[in-house]
Amino acid sequence: MTKLSVNINKIATLRNARGGNIPDVTKAALDCERFGAQGITVHPRPDERHIRYQDVFDLKPVLSTEFNIEGYPNQSFIELVIKAKPAQVTLVPDPPHVLTSNAGWNTVEHKNMLCDIIKEFHANSIRTSIFIETDAKMIENAKKTGTDRIELYTESYASNFLKNKRDAILPFIEAAKVANNVGLEINAGHDLNLDNLKYFAQNIPGLLEVSIGHALIADALYLGLENTVQLYLRQLK
């Protein structure tokens, strides 16, 4: 079964909009675990507009499932991850000004930088994943960076799913085959939801983990958090 990691950034966004500690980010993460999620993902940005650096340190000692920290690897992010020592770090090529992640790594252009950063995380016993699109060359070069996993950027799949789901998923099937052939493990995320998740998971060979935040938290407003986590888990069975 593919694991579900719940991205709790949107919980933090709601908290930060009013100040104080409502909703409680740590409690929400623990509740997601209690409801069956096999991981918690956070994406701290330099302006701390949702997850704050302190949230990372508050979460690390209390989580019992896999903790995944994703973000752009500037020096402050690297230092944060090394101090927190999560199970996994996911490197995303989004500079501070972007609203949300919107592209995968160019693993040819940034190979040397990624190699150095990944080596540093491995020295601290942290599994690495890099956010990537379906280009076979970029996936093959991702292997050369030393990363353990790739996270397939699924926005194009989600955007085209309702038009033609078979055409939408074909590039991801081919990308997964390339990753499997070169020995990279596979995660996925971005705009996956209750409508498109099951089909994706059923068709991607070797899919180990999906990270879902925005859609899951939005669904929870209507369906309740416990029920929503359970519904997402069912799509992955």
pLDDT at 94: 80
Length of the chain: 237
Q: Are strands 207-212 and 66-71 parallel, antiparallel or unpaired?
A: unpaired
Q: Looking at the domain that runs over 3-235, which CATH code has it been given? A: 3.20.20.70
Catalytic residue among 33, 43, 66, 151: 43
Amino acid at 224: G
pLDDT at 103: 79
CA distances from 79 to 16, 72, 146 (A): 24, 12, 20
**Is 97 an active-site residue?**
no
The string of pLDDT tens digits covering residues 216-237 is 999 999 999 999 999 999 999 9
Three-class SS state of 67 = strand
Catalytic residue among 50, 66, 133, 190: 190
**Distance of alpha carbon 35 from alpha carbon 209, whole angstroms:** 17
Catalytic residue among 33, 50, 66, 70: 70
The string of pLDDT tens digits covering residues 93-127 is 986 665 555 678 999 999 999 999 999 999 999 99
The string of pLDDT tens digits covering residues 168-216 is 999 999 999 999 999 999 999 999 999 999 999 999 999 999 999 999 9
**Is 214 an active-site residue?**
no
pLDDT at 46: 86
The string of pLDDT tens digits covering residues 14-65 is 999 998 999 999 999 999 999 999 999 999 998 899 999 999 999 999 999 9
| CB neighbourhood size of 20 (10 A) | 8
**Distance of alpha carbon 9 from alpha carbon 41, whole angstroms:** 8
Three-class SS state of 183 = coil
